[in-house]
Amino acid sequence: MQKKWLALMMLIAALAVVRGAVAQTGNSSTAEAVPAASATTLTAAFPEFIPVVCYHRFGHYGAKDPYFVTPEELKQQFEIIKSEGFTPITTAALKAGLDGTKPFPEKPLLITIDDGYADFVNIAQPIFKEYGYTATLFVYIHFIDSKMGLSHGQLQQLEKDGFEIGSHSWTHPKLTKPTPAEAAKGMAAFYQAELNAPYQKLKEWLGHDIIALAYPYGLWDTDSAKAAQEAGYQLMFTVDQGTNNAATPREQLKRIMIVHKTSDKMFRYLINDRPLKLASRTLEPGQHITGPVESVTLTIDPEQSRELDPKSWVILKGGIKCKSAYDAAQQKIIATFAQPWTHGTDAVMVVARDKAQQKHYKETWLVHVAPPVPEGGK
């Protein structure tokens, strides 16, 4: 049983690091705390967890590019969404639910599609129509009206058809690591070009404020999250793996990346992850630190931990399992990385199960480690 569980974890971790799409996620309760809903009915109905799935392309090219999901796979995954009782909603409905202005359906779920490839309209949209499902398309402006991208007229039509458009920057840069050319005019100008300008362009095309941003490559840090808030976005989506609840910071919303050959079992598993709460952690979400870092110390949330199997904790860094020591008295876990973390961006993922072996909990977050400054260096 333990072995099987671990095998599944490793598989999930592998899925998480598919191609350059850096990592998965985590939450914490930094920054903008989500106000507790005051309406009692709404509080009672607040969903235990909200999964957000993330697709890119549709078609039969998965062998060459795992970001292509076939129409058959998409249909099968919609069958799972339906049989698990989820109702797809838009980011506008997510915001209204979080704000407490409109109640959630019983089991909300979001379907998002990144980049803005025209294959959405040709291949996926008829399947969405068949199921009556909505989605949010995160598009980057530079790609729109290009040969393989949707046209801005199609974006307008998609909104008329009940879909929603969100921003995915202007040129799809790494917001956490601009190239020297991108950084040349300073970070304020970089954020202005990649966060504010696409907001304004989409607003011009669509005629309304834009609610959501998906960070290109899922790469985010505390600075880009702040810049996105200042640009006017209200919900920011990562690809940090896991699901969301009322405590998930709105600039760190988690998503589940779906690629070619994601098994039915895996898909069902991922959309049923529960958010794992940590009381504290020594590496904070979106933080930049100087390496080397050898371990992370986690303090477990005392209330949630009562439900959890103390033998079930698994901590992964960049998809690789850490050696971890659980201190029951202190409610602490010290996870030591397989190799000292000297530089680079990676996801830290923490997973646990409940004692009844019914539910699984996950927290994932990105940390950016800079190389150590050489001693007596320049």
Closer Cβ to Zn ion, 104 or 191, answer by number: 191
Buried b (16+ CB within 10 A) or exposed e, 80-99: ebeeeebbbbbbbbbbbbbe
Give me the least distance between CB of 354 and Zn ion, in Å please. Answer: 34
Work out the number of other CB atoms within 10 angstroms of the CB of residue 103.
17
Among 16, 49, 81, 115, binds Zn ion (CB under 5 A): 115
Give whichever of 114 and 194 is closer to Zn ion, judged by the CB atom.
114
> In the complex with Zn ion, which residue's Cβ is closer, 73 or 114?
114
* DSSP labels, 272-311: TPEEPPEEEESS-TTEEEES-EEEEEEEE-HHHHTTB-TT
Candidate segments 110-118, 122-130, 150-158, 306-314, binder of Zn ion by CB under 5 A: 110-118
Cβ-closest residue to Zn ion? 114
Q: Which of 12, 16, 25, 114 touches Zn ion by CB under 5 A?
A: 114
Separation of alpha carbons 132 and 111, rounded Å: 12
Q: In terms of CB distance, is 114 or 119 closer to Zn ion?
A: 114
Cβ distance to Zn ion smaller for residue 114 or 164: 114
Q: How many residues bind Zn ion (CB under 5 A)?
A: 2
Q: How far is the CB of 331 from Zn ion (least distance, A)?
A: 38
Q: In degrees rounded to 5, what are phi and psi of residue 177?
A: -150, 70
Least distance CB 105 / Zn ion (angstroms): 28
Closest separation between CB of residue 19 and Zn ion, Å?
Answer: 11
Burial tier of 286 (Cβ tally within 10 Å: 0-12, 13-18, 19+): buried
User: Is 194 among the residues that bind Zn ion (CB under 5 A)?
Assistant: no
Point out which residues bind Zn ion (CB under 5 A): 114-115
